[in-house]
A and B are shown apart, each in its own frame.
Chain A
């Protein structure tokens, strides 16, 4: 039995886990549930030695243990299949299975025929039907996932931690994996199963723990005593019905940016999206909700010209077709506020005015050959005042600002370019509550002036608040839409996890 007792983990000043305990019994599938940021991943990292707890202890079969890295945990029979594949694309499948554990001939040469022999049963077990001499990088993501699982099994683990193991698998492969998990359990392996796919969890788990805000709110309760809808309620906790969407949407203000809608018809991207339709009218805030790999990112990428579509069309409000590159998309009036602000949103070492005035499709085009600093500063100051950026001056560096104010600079940058379509990818990530509210007002204002706003967020509550309607994507397809009274955090969470927007049966 592997036990984690009273684990607390702080990252700097942020408490990711607080006094969490977890028991992993042999022959039991223990599922961990929780919304993003609830602390599941942190706990998993501590269990496998990738992170060390701030307080608390790990006990393996009655003896206290501590792991300084993943290797030490692996030596004790604790294996992990993680969501980010730890594989080597330039090596063939066979070598990936044995990396660092290669059987050697004469103590030096890698013994491939022995590897092949050892791999056979495990490869068959997980259902990996590929030529083992193929380069890993040429495999589909789902097949790579199976390689990762097979690699973990080769070390004959006593404890196996599966962190989102099915996120890249197709339905058939998922069933196969669940079967493998069951057979391992029957052989006495203790399994921790972390997944967003609630239906899989309820199919496979013996016991369930639910995390919220770094605490375990449900501790190892037998599955039979829980329901999907009940689990979702535990993941969300209190305060799920509060709404703050009362920002006045001043209709028909001065001049509307768009009169025509943004039309997405039959949009397909290989391996990511299948014939997706969406019409977003001027003034609308349309949400796209879905898990990682659901296709939401693909929609954003195609509309912003980052990826090319493999089928279907995007018709911009001015009648133009799918932009084929990012510069073209920007010139066509598409703005993109990315989730990864520090890397893609701002030039963090540069001044505010440089950030605000550097969108090539917008202000730079109007400035002629030589940049006029005074005008740039004036523009930045104007936007700073309009959006309430707390800054000493427009010449301050962006890295002196708080997260929320940095994000406002990103908004200012795009507003300066006067976009027709605004894509918002998790804009409030790492932004404090006050700035969040202000940001919602900015989004509402952008919509009121006739811009089309497409929005996604990992914060489903926020999404339910600020979107007029939310289209749900699941495994690359649009599966329906929630609006009005149906649009709640609870319904969204259930929809993105089950792929169905139907109302839950009355409990």
Chain B
């Protein structure tokens, strides 16, 4: 479909009324169909459905609602943080410290909850988490080094903070009978509360990413850094905002997981960053920058979670989890790169 329309519009200098008409507005069945089939997330969604069906075909138990819901819950914590990672990848940046921020916010919130209102403690923890994210951006701008390198350092620092704050022991005296834990850690209308957060925030961030000037600037920096600067986009500031957003989302994921697990162990969130980055990338956000998909990150997080629980259903030793997640990343990124290259070659050929 794309091919035929493209060839119509590139008839050199001959005036082409069709091209003009098409560009001025799209309506009708064809336009709707084009919209549906051009949804980038479709492939990811199909892959997820195939995975669920595959596991379900061998182990019917997997399709039970409580199993599926617990998979959604696991995926939810990752997805919230992965939304932020989409913004960063679109700027060709990666934040490795997300696992550290996630853990710090859990430990801090748990500590504070023993002496203050749990909701207030959670909000404060989210605030600290955003500041930790912003710190990555400030350091990166200050020393003019990539966020990847900065966060390699802060990753270790933040994990170190977790040990220091918790003194290496699980946090005690968590008020688990307050409404914070009985409500937020539970279901609402038969669906995990974290799941509602994932959906709501997902919608908001999709709009921010695709329809606001901030989102456009984020993508513009990743698309052509030099042109972005030439156009007057304050790339450094935008990057700090994006990192702050990611930090805040990690904090939110942290306090929600605290509500569910009702405990704060200093080893919590080890390997979280791998899952978050994997979710964003598997979801279809390219590391080459310039574009990304927030809903894709959710699908990616679900794929990671489904694979992890699938391994349990197939009685594969859980030691293989990381190995498999890594393999899936390579598979996803590899196919994506192949498809992109094929598409680019075709577009080039068509356009002459």
- A and B associate: yes
The interface-forming segment of B117-125, B139-147, B227-235 is B227-235
Q: Are A129 and B230 in contact (CB under 8 A)?
A: no
* Of the residues B231, B344, B348, contact of A270 by C-beta under 8 Å: B348
Contact of B216 among A102, A130, A140, A143 (CB under 8 A): A102
Tell whether A116 pairs with B227 under 8 Å between CB atoms, given A131-B5, A170-B12: no
Query: Which positions 105-140 of chain A face chain B at CB distance < 8 Å?
Result: 108-110, 113, 116, 120, 123-124, 127, 129-134, 137-140
Question: Is A88's beta carbon under 8 Å from chain B?
Answer: yes
Contact B213 A131 (CB under 8 A): no
Is the pair B224, A130 in contact by a Cβ cutoff of 8 Å? no
Residue B319 CB within 8 A of the other chain: no
Nearest CB on B from A17, distance (A): 21
Tell me the bound Cα distance from A129 to B23 in angstroms: 9
Are A86 and B230 in contact, CB atoms less than 8 angstroms apart? yes
A306, CB-defined interface residue at 8 Å: no
Residue contact A99 to B291, C-beta cutoff 8 Å: no
B226 at the interface (CB under 8 A from A): yes
Question: Contacts of A95 on B, CB cut-off 8 Å?
Answer: 216
Contact check, B227 vs A86: say whether CB atoms are below 8 A apart.
yes
Q: Is the beta-carbon distance between B25 and A86 smaller than 8 angstroms? A: no
A88 touching B290 by the CB < 8 A rule?
A: yes
Using a CB–CB distance below 8 Å, which chain A residues touch chain B? 50, 69-71, 74, 84-91, 94-95, 99-100, 102, 104, 108-110, 113, 116, 120, 123-124, 127, 129-134, 137-140, 143, 170, 172-173, 176, 270-271
Report chain B residues within 8 Å CB of A89: 223-224, 290
- The residue in chain B whose Cβ has the minimal distance to the Cβ of A171 is B13
**Contact check: which of A50, A87, A110, A143 meets B227 at CB < 8 Å?**
A87
Measured between beta carbons, the chain B residues less than 8 angstroms from A173 are: 13
Number of contacts between A and B (CB, 8 Å)?
A: 112
17 contacts between A and B (CB under 8 A): A70-B230, A70-B232, A88-B223, A88-B228, A89-B224, A90-B223, A100-B231, A109-B212, A110-B212, A110-B213, A113-B25, A116-B23, A133-B26, A138-B347, A138-B348, A143-B10, A270-B352
Known: A90-B291, A100-B232, A139-B351. A129 touches B19 (CB 8 A): yes
Quick check: is B211 within 8 A (CB to CB) of the other chain? yes
In the complex, chain B residues 286-318 whose Cβ is within 8 Å of any chain A Cβ = 289-291
* B341 within 8 Å of A (CB atoms): no
Q: How far is A113 from B25 in the complex, measured between Cα atoms in Å?
A: 8
Closest to B220 in A: A88
B159 sits at the interface (CB 8 A): no
Interface residues in chain B, defined as those with a beta carbon under 8 Å from any beta carbon in chain A: 5-6, 9-13, 15-16, 19-20, 22-26, 207, 211-213, 216-217, 219-220, 222-224, 226-228, 230-233, 289-291, 344, 347-348, 351-352
Q: Hey, which chain A residues are within 8 Å of B24, CB to CB?
A: 116, 120
B352 touches A87 (CB 8 A): no
Asked if residues B211 and A109 are in contact (CB atoms below 8 Å), the reply is yes
Query: From DSSP, what is the main secondary structure of chain A's interface residues?
Result: loop
The residue of chain B having its C-beta at the shortest distance from the C-beta of A271 within the complex is B352
What separation, in Å, do the CA atoms of A101 and B348 have in the docked complex?
A: 29
Among A70, A90, A104, A270, residue most surrounded by chain B Cβ atoms (within 10 Å): A90
Give the CA-CA distance A282 to B10 in the complex, in Å: 45
Q: A129-B15, A130-B10, A140-B10 are in contact. Are A88 and B227 (CB under 8 A)?
A: yes
Q: CA–CA, A254 to B274, complex, Å? A: 64
Which residues from chain A contact B10 at a C-beta distance below 8 Å?
Answer: 129-130, 140, 143
Task: Given A90-B289, A95-B216, A129-B20, output 11 extra A-B contacts at Cβ < 8 Å.
Answer: A70-B230, A70-B232, A74-B232, A89-B223, A99-B216, A100-B232, A109-B212, A110-B216, A130-B10, A134-B6, A172-B13
A123 to B20, CA, bound (A): 9
Which partner residue on chain B sits nearest A109 by CB separation? B211
A74 to B347, CA, bound (A): 33
Question: What is the CB-to-nearest-CB distance from A74 to chain B, in angstroms, rounded to a whole number?
Answer: 8
Does A176 contact B232, Cβ atoms closer than 8 Å? no
Distance, CA A123 to CA B232, complexed state (A) = 23
Least CB distance from A93 to B in Å reads: 8
Which chain B positions have C-beta within 8 A of A127? Answer: 13
Q: In the complex, which residues of chain A have a beta carbon less than 8 angstroms from the beta carbon of B216?
A: 91, 95, 99, 102, 110
Check A104 against B23 for contact (C-beta < 8 Å): no
Chain A hits for B231, CB < 8 A: 70-71, 86, 99-100
Q: Which residues of the partner chain A approach B20 to less than 8 Å between Cβ atoms?
A: 124, 129
Expressed in whole angstroms, the Cα–Cα distance for A132 and B21 within the complex equals 11
Contact B352 A131 (CB under 8 A): no
Residues of B within 8 A of A50 (CB): 230
Closest chain A residue to B290, Cβ basis: A90
Which residue of chain B is the closest to A173 with respect to CB atoms? B13
Docked CA distance A454–B306 (Å): 59
A117 to B207, CA, bound (A): 22
* Chain B residues whose C-beta falls within 8 Å of the C-beta of A132 in the assembled complex: 23
Nearest neighbor of A138 in chain B, beta-carbon distance:
B347
In the bound complex, residues from chain B placing their C-beta under 8 Å from that of A71 are: 231-232
| In contact, B224 and A86 (Cβ under 8 angstroms) | yes
In the bound complex, residues from chain A placing their C-beta under 8 Å from that of B15 are 129
Instruction: Check B227–A131 contact: CB distance below 8 A.
Output: no
Q: Which residues of A contact B13 (CB under 8 A)?
A: 127, 129, 172-173, 176
A102 with B19: CB separation less than 8 A: no
A131 contacts B220, C-beta separation under 8 Å: no
> A228: shortest Cβ distance to chain B, in Å?
26
The 7 closest A-B pairs by CB, nearest first: A90-B290, A71-B232, A86-B227, A88-B223, A138-B347, A90-B223, A132-B23
- A271 cross-chain contacts in B, Cβ below 8 A: 348, 352
CB distance A90 to B219 under 8 Å?
Answer: yes
Give the distance to chain B from A129, nearest Cβ to Cβ, in Å: 5
Closest residue of chain B to A139 (Cβ to Cβ) is B351
Closest chain B residue to A119 by CB distance? Answer: B23
CB distance from B351 to the nearest CB of A (A): 5
Q: A124-B20, A140-B10, A170-B12 are in contact. Are A87 and B224 (CB under 8 A)?
A: yes
Known interface pairs A70-B232, A109-B211; A131-B224 also in contact (CB < 8 Å): no
Closest to A82 in B: B230
The docked-state distance in angstroms from the alpha carbon of A146 to that of B212 is 26
Rounded to whole angstroms, the CA-CA distance of A94 and B217 in the bound complex is 15
A154 to chain B, nearest CB (A): 13
Complex CA–CA separation, A172 to B216 (angstroms): 34
Contacts of B290 in A (CB 8 A): 88-91
Query: Is there an interface contact between B211 and A138, defined as CB atoms closer than 8 Å?
Result: no
Minimum CB distance partner of B25 in chain A:
A116
Report B237 CB to chain A, min CB distance, Å: 14
Inter-chain CA distance A300–B25, complex, in Å, is 45
Distance (Å) between the CB of B251 and the closest chain A CB?
A: 24
Tell me which residues across on chain B come within 8 A of A84, comparing CB atoms: 226
- CB-CB nearest in chain B for A124: B20
* B residues near A129, Cβ cutoff 8 Å: 9-11, 13, 15-16, 19-20
Q: How far is the CA of A131 from the CA of B211 in the complex (A)?
A: 20
A131 and B232 contact, Cβ closer than 8 Å, known pairs A110-B211, A139-B351: no
**Closest chain B residue, CB of each to CB of A86:** B227
Determine the chain A residues whose CB is within 8 A of the CB of B226 once the complex forms: 84, 86
B3 to chain A, nearest CB (A): 11
Question: B211 contacts which chain A residues (CB < 8 A)?
Answer: 109-110
Question: Which A residues are in CB contact (< 8 Å) with B222?
Answer: 90
A91 touching B207, Cβ below 8 Å: no
Task: For the complex, give the distance between the alpha carbons of A102 and B213 in Å.
Answer: 7
Give the residue name and chain of the B residue nearest to A48 (CB).
Answer: B230
> How distant is A297 from chain B, measured CB to nearest CB, in Å?
18
Q: Using A88-B220, A88-B223, A88-B290 as known contacts, say yes or no to A130 and B12 having CB atoms under 8 A apart.
A: no
